[in-house]
Amino acid sequence: SGNACVCRNKIRQTCQKLLSLLQERCLQACHKMAQALETWTKEALDIYAQSRSLDTELDSCIDMVGSYGAAVSKAGEVFESVSGDLVSDLKAQCQRSHDPAAVQPSISLVSDSSPALSVGDGSLKNSRKRERLPRPLTRGLQNLEVSTAELLRLMDDNYAVTMKLFELSLPSPQAPAGEEA
């Protein structure tokens, strides 16, 4: 019975030492790990919510860029059409103001000598010069072309940045276990 008491006391002391070690070392470490895990989980949930929001915004931006591209394309088509119509109208107006019938009698009234032909050729050259677009209109069209090219370049840059953001918002594929990335 004395031996049993000594054994029980040793067991009780060992249990108290183990309990003390558990409380001093293990519980504190477990508590710190639990706090770190809780912090990580909160941050991960925040990042996930933010990535979902960015994904939605990115989809919206992609839609806007697409509609803007379509609008710019349509504006380019309208510009080409209107400028072509304008050039045609200006040519027609120049031809009407310099009626070939009015030029023809001056050629037919003059003898067939070389000086008369050169005068006739000179008047035709002058009418060709007048068929050109006025300088302010030409400059305006050139400025519009430069502005359109700049807008298209900016749109391409914006699209590239948007695609990079989109790639960043997607989770990267994980390599299977045992393989190196």
This prediction's pTM: 0.35
Mean predicted confidence (pLDDT) in 132-139: 76
Q: Tell me what pLDDT residue 75 has.
A: 84
Length of the chain: 181
Kindly report, residue by residue over 15-62, the tens digit of the pLDDT: 999 988 888 888 888 889 999 999 999 999 999 999 999 989 988 888
3 state SS of 1: coil
Residue 148 tokens read as 């359109």
Kindly report, residue by residue over 84-114, the tens digit of the pLDDT: 888 888 778 777 776 555 444 333 333 343 3
Show Cβ contacts of residue 138 under 8 Å, excluding neighbours closer than 6 positions. 132
Residue 109 tokens read as 């009234």
Q: Which of the residue ranges 30-44, 63-77, 121-135, 141-155 would you say has the lowest mean pLDDT? A: 121-135
- Report which DSSP code applies to 171: P
